[in-house]
Amino acid sequence: MRGRFFLLLLTSLVLAGCGFHLQQQSSLPPEMEHVRLEAPDPYAQFARRLRVLLEQGGVSVVDDDSATAVLQILSSRVRKEILTIGDNARVREYRLRHTVEFALLDSRGAVLAPVQKLEQSRVISFDETEILGAAQEDEQLRREMSDTLARLVIRRLSTTGT
């Protein structure tokens, strides 16, 4: 019992000494109180996830001219790149690459955050005997990359000095 307490105390001191702390929720600039989200496809997975994260961060996402800022999603592309081909001339590995470009403008069109580009990629091994599983894995990775990129956009916007 005494050894466990000592170990817990030692672990706490080490974590406190190294500067470790839990990540706080990102605080967005006050100019983003009411945001209009402009995206090539507002119903795409990435745009929907970004809208949810903005609303969770206290931002009101509007579709009219009452917006105090405009978040422009200039592009959101998912590509498949073949990495290796097997001896039977079929794909063995490929890379999913999701790229997003965005900018933040105020209501008058002045740039608050210049165009920025973020990218995520994952390598997938393809087994032709498990085609159904491969399709599900592909879709799951697309969802995860969309979520990660949406969180990265929020983090970048929270560092915008206005």
pLDDT along the chain (162 residues), means of 10: 74 67 64 92 95 93 90 95 81 90 93 95 78 77 95 92 53
Tell me the domain boundaries of the chain: 26-158
At residue 80's C-alpha, the angle toward residues 52 and 151, to 5°, is 20
Helix (H, G, I), strand (E, B) or coil at 125: strand
Which residue type is seen at 146?
S
The pLDDT, as a whole number, for residue 116 is 96
Determine the pLDDT at residue 162.
46
Does CATH number 3.30.9.10 belong to domain 26-158? no
